[in-house]
Amino acid sequence: MNKKTKIAIIICDRYKSCAGGKCFRALREREGAFDIYKKDESVEIVGFTSCGGCPGGNIEYVPEEMVNNGAEVIHLATGLVVGYPPCPYTTHFKSFIEEKYKVKVIVGTHPIPEKYYTTHTALGTWKGREMKNLIKPTVSDEKTRLAYN
């Protein structure tokens, strides 16, 4: 029997009405930050919500519910790094959740869409080492980025 990994997703509140289509597609296709899960590995979503708005009010308590529902990994959605400006709290969220709730946190869900990649590259948004590390799981190749436009 293959292992089932239970994950949860926290999105940026700017996108609170998002239905999660790109995230769920990327999970199904194992693209973007979800490429860490094997294609034959069973994955279950046990939570999906927003950060609660700046400066992330839900970050203090929502991960507890996610972990209580079995979450082994929490993904901070790609929207936190592709929105403009990118969320200045992303690394704080990751550190806080990992420390307080002892659960792995991955920054990213679906691949960065090409239109965001092009804009942020031109603006120099992701020049620093910290931002390069944050976007690394979701950069993908141009063909994949175009497919997520």
CATH code assigned at 136: 3.40.50
Question: SS3 for 72?
Answer: coil
- Per the DSSP assignment, residues forming a β-bridge with 47 are 8
What would the two tokens of residue 50 be? 């927003």
> What pLDDT, on a 0 to 100 scale, did the predictor assign at position 3?
78
Name residues of the chain where pLDDT drops below 50.
1
Please list, in sequence order, all residues whose beta carbon lies within 8 angstroms of the beta carbon of residue 118, skipping any fewer than 6 positions away: none
CA 143 to each of CA 27, 34, 71: distance values in angstroms, whole numbers, following the listed order: 17, 17, 31
Domain count for the chain? 1
Encode pLDDT of 73-103 as tens digits.
999 999 999 999 999 999 999 999 999 999 9
* pLDDT for 143: 97
Q: How far apart are CA 40 and CA 2, in angstroms?
A: 8
Predicted pLDDT of residue 20: 92
Instruction: For residue 8, give the amino acid letter.
Output: A
pLDDT at residue 31, as a whole number? 97
Query: Domain range spanning residue 37?
Result: 4-147
Q: Side-chain half-sphere of 36: how many Cα atoms within 13 Å?
A: 16
- According to DSSP, residue 41 is labeled S
